[in-house]
Structure 1
Amino acid sequence: MDNGLASAIRSCRDLDQARQLHRQWEGAKESSGSLYLGNLLIETYGKCGHPECSRKVFDSLRLPNTFSWNLLISAYARNGFLHEAQELFAAMSPRSLVAANVMITAYARKGHVIDAKNVYDSMLEHSSVSWSAMIAAFLSAGDLGDACDLLQALPERDITCSNLVIAAYAQAGHLPQAKRLFDEMRHRDIATWNAMLEALAGARDDVIEMERFFETMMPGWSAASLTILVTSLARHGCFDEARVAFEARPQLHDLVSWTALLAGFALHRDGNEDIQESENIFFHKMPLHNHVTWTMMLAAYARHTDLSRRASEFFHENLPQHSIASSNTAMAIHVQAGKMDRARALFMEWSCETSRRGIFFSGPRQLTR
């Protein structure tokens, strides 16, 4: 087998390069390892977003194996071609556990819970992937009861499945149920603790007590843990506590946790000085910025009409690139300040037709007031 060709195919993420490697494989089809290389190509074309090319490789294989079928079904499913994936799965004999899990996940993404359940029920065996995929399918359709019933029926308690249900309880505001399931778990990982933290954060209880609980009991923190805690504290008006919690864990600072802190202070405090303080103390200290952080800071200014001048300066002088969201926000600021000419001028600055359409759909009512 050509190890160099195999390595090149595995690392390939470009369609043109994939086609070039495909031609090399065509010239060496009779060599040993040809089926393995063909399977790699099926997978690579799928990752490049071209399952039809994966199918051409599959059809040219003399004797495709189970891996070939799994990879082709996955290539279609991951790119949204559910009908093609479904036809292949129906034609596969015997059907593999991997392919069945792929189909359950694909059906769940499309909201086809009944089809996902039919596949699940037809399986001779299940794995933790099958269980979590089916529970995720129920949850995506809002069927928390069915998800809980399946969790209770599992032959062994799976940590991933339990985490999914705790997170669902948290989103639904069912703290007692989340806590009961959490207490029943013999083994927990950081995702379990974060899911429980999310449940506590969404409750109307004392958020300071929530922080103390996880300070003393949580075995480890992640950047996600810090983001959940900071967001909750700020949302409940505990700004000093949010800042202390954030600054006490510099090793967990990333763009997401910085953004959570900025959002908490910029969007949940009402005073003009508070907004400007958020820019000076938090925004300018961030090691990185993206469109989300820029637009969030702009949106904070947009909540205060008397800060429209500073918002305009922030938009025109600081933003390295103007996204549709940031431009919409800037136009809203001009409109709120009664500066319709400036709002229309900003709209006309956009020459790209796709950007213009994006602004049109979200901004015309404000522009025509």
Structure 2
Amino acid sequence: MASSVRRAITKWLSPVLECGGVDAIREAVDLLEQSGAAGGTGDLEQLIRRCAGAKALEEGRRIHRWMDSGTLDRPRFLSNLLVDMYGKCGSLVEAKRVFDAMQHKNVFSWTMLMAGFVQSGRGVEAIQLFHRMCQEGELPDRVALLKFIDSCGAAKALSQGREIHSAAASCGMDSDLVTANAIINMYGKCGSIGEAFAVFTRMPEKNVISWSTMIAAFCQNELADEALLFFKLMQQEGMELDRITYVSVLDAYTSVGALELGKALHVRIVYAGLDTSIVVGNTLVNMYGKCGSPDDARDVFDSMVEKNVVSWNAMLAAYGQNGRSREALALFDSMDLEGVRPNDITFVTILYCCSHSGKFKDAVSHFVEMRQDFGITPREVHFGCLIDMLGRSGKLEEAEELIQAMPVPADAVLWTSLLCACVTHKDEDRAARAAEEAFQREPRCAAAYIMLSNLYAALKKWDEAAKVRKRMEQAGVRKQAGRSWIEIDKQVHEFVAGDSIHPDKSRIFKTLQRLMSEMRIKGYEPDRKVVIHSMEEEEKDEVLFYHSEKLAVAFGIASTPPRTPLCIVKNLRVCSDCHSAIKFISGVEGRRITVRDSNRFHHFDRGECSCGDYW
């Protein structure tokens, strides 16, 4: 009987291995439970691996329970696979429980649990686990060292990453291709792009992963121009592009809003047969959404053979970012009907949509639903959406009370959000409190200094504004240079505040001067309070004239036919003067102008903005 059951189970494993579907896994587990007989360690190994690959957590739990119900001791390699399965399914509590129950661990046991921590973004705990492994006398092998390098990247633990790099170099491991690629990835995630590039240049041999990892490192550090340059060099070297390369380059195009270049790369992806990849599909949806083309994003989304929660989140964000909250909320309902379980990121987008469409009751309802129906613990970002909504409606006292009543500590971002609302509604005392709270949590928070100074300037409290600027200087805080990008004829142009070196500068300045004259006739007045330095009004006007987004808009108008829509990406929050100016320009020129700043999308059309002048 036992042998016949084993043969039946093995028979069911064949379709599982071929299609990897959860339904096939479920049927095999059903048979396993009904048989009451052992299926063989080989069969169990394949089933657990399939559960891990398909992230079939419930089926994995059922296999685990079935194994525990037996009388035979569980082999160590099966326990290791259970740790791996739970880690890949995101259930680290269960992974750690299996790990802790193991009487005899080996290096694979430790590495599997480390991998689970890294995958869940818990790099600090992965590093602690590595040190514990060494303390308990388990010598790490090459795989464990690679996982430790990944852990340092996930935790942004640069000093420990340097230590392991030095250790790898001392024993000659850093010349190994796989190790060198992992070190580049680690330095990129830790924000040390110079060290990543140094490792890359010293490599005696490079493969497509080396190039793709370097491109991804540039993207992670907001160096899109360098990423795109590397992409060109990679092609000149004759490297065959893989899925990782395409994803990295799509991310680079996304960061500068290069829609046409993204579309061209999409064609190449289809030609290469990589459009069926769920990761590539998700990246395409994200690219189209962030480049201001949610309809193209929806076309990709609908064409995807397989979707996961990341796919749905990307499409929800594409609608939400582009001011189409109604469609986002309708898609969320479809998600429920399709049986896709939302995660914490899903609710960030839903709360964002409710906030930006003024649906406070709906936001509260979804907030409660998130906790009660899905067991998702709210994070700072979820509370931030509610605080943003209260701030928009001028309910500043309620917003401050919510921050203070939160079950999790509020970070500088939340207090800066409240500060932004206080500046909009000119609540001086509360703004000062919010700024102080932000400074305590992040002493070098440039945005808080600038907003508070702007508020005092708007209230004509020049002495107070000067004190804030002096404090900012004493803290060594400098305002980051404003940068804007616009794509014209599949070429990305970058503008920096005060830029006077662009080859088309005379045409740009002439166009901008014409626009300024026409705007003033329509009632535009420069918002000089955004210039925090003490200078004459004419000097302030000149500073405002050279803001990067104005230069990008003027270049776009000078370089395209009348009424052509424009899309600009800005690395910082758009200032109130540029926001006002672009509203006027959209009316004067009869153009739709989209600006994606560090905070949100602004869709300017006929002299109005989708944000309702609150951002």
Fold agreement, TM-score > 0.5: yes
Richer in strand (by share): 2
C-alpha contact 1:235 1:264 (8 A) present in aligned 2: yes
Aligned match of 1:48: 158
2:345 and 2:174 mapped to 1: Cα distance?
46
Aligned match of 2:7: none
Aligned match of 1:147: 265
1:155 and 1:162 mapped to 2: Cα distance?
12
Matches within 5 A, 1:5-44: none
Instruction: Please state if 1:286 is matched with 2:401.
Output: no
Q: How much does 1:62 deviate? A: 9.1
2:201 to 63, 87, 96: 87
Q: How much does 1:224 deviate? A: 1.5
1:294 and 1:334 mapped to 2: Cα distance?
18
**Greater Cα offset, 316-325 or 192-201:** 316-325
2:440 and 2:140 mapped to 1: Cα distance?
50
Aligned match of 2:611: none
1:255 and 1:212 mapped to 2: Cα distance?
25
TM-score between both structures, scaled by the size of structure 1: 0.71
**Greater Cα offset, 245-254 or 225-234:** 245-254
Aligned match of 1:365: 531
C-alpha contact 1:105 1:116 (8 A) present in aligned 2: no
C-alpha contact 2:319 2:328 (8 A) present in aligned 1: yes
**Greater Cα offset, 164-173 or 244-253:** 244-253
**Greater Cα offset, 309-318 or 182-191:** 309-318
**In structure 2, do the counterparts of structure 1 residues 100 and 245 end up closer, same or farther at CA, with 3 Å as the change threshold?**
same
Task: Please list every run of 5 or more consecutive structure 2 residues that lacks an aligned counterpart in the other structure.
Answer: 1-106, 125-130, 132-138, 483-528, 536-615
C-alpha contact 1:55 1:72 (8 A) present in aligned 2: no
2:419 to 298, 301, 307: 298
2:174 and 2:390 mapped to 1: Cα distance?
61
Instruction: Please state if 1:243 is matched with 2:364.
Output: yes
Aligned match of 1:187: 306
Q: How much does 1:249 deviate? A: 1.7
2:301 and 2:433 mapped to 1: Cα distance?
49
Tell me which structure has the larger Cα radius of gyration. 2
**In structure 2, do the counterparts of structure 1 residues 151 and 59 end up closer, same or farther at CA, with 3 Å as the change threshold?**
same
Aligned match of 1:18: none
C-alpha contact 1:242 1:261 (8 A) present in aligned 2: yes
Letter in 1 for 2:456: H
**In structure 2, do the counterparts of structure 1 residues 265 and 185 end up closer, same or farther at CA, with 3 Å as the change threshold?**
same
Task: Please list every run of 5 or more consecutive structure 1 residues that lacks an aligned counterpart in the other structure.
Answer: 15-20, 22-31
Aligned match of 2:238: 122
C-alpha contact 2:415 2:434 (8 A) present in aligned 1: no
2:474 and 2:447 mapped to 1: Cα distance?
15
Question: Percent identity at matched positions?
Answer: 17
| Deviation sequence 1:179-226 (CA, Å, 0-9, x none) | 111111111111110111112224555x34532431243412122211
SS at match of 2:416: helix
SS at match of 2:193: coil
Richer in helix (by share): 1
Q: How much does 1:177 deviate? A: 1.5
**In structure 2, do the counterparts of structure 1 residues 163 and 72 end up closer, same or farther at CA, with 3 Å as the change threshold?**
closer
Aligned match of 1:113: 228
C-alpha contact 2:285 2:314 (8 A) present in aligned 1: yes
**In structure 2, do the counterparts of structure 1 residues 34 and 152 end up closer, same or farther at CA, with 3 Å as the change threshold?**
closer
Letter in 1 for 2:238: S
**Greater Cα offset, 96-105 or 229-238:** 96-105
Number of residue-to-residue matches in the alignment: 335
Letter in 2 for 1:115: F
2:431 and 2:187 mapped to 1: Cα distance?
46
C-alpha contact 2:412 2:438 (8 A) present in aligned 1: no
Letter in 2 for 1:236: S
C-alpha contact 1:76 1:85 (8 A) present in aligned 2: no
| Deviation sequence 1:291-317 (CA, Å, 0-9, x none) | 111121122111123x32443455568
1:140 and 1:319 mapped to 2: Cα distance?
29
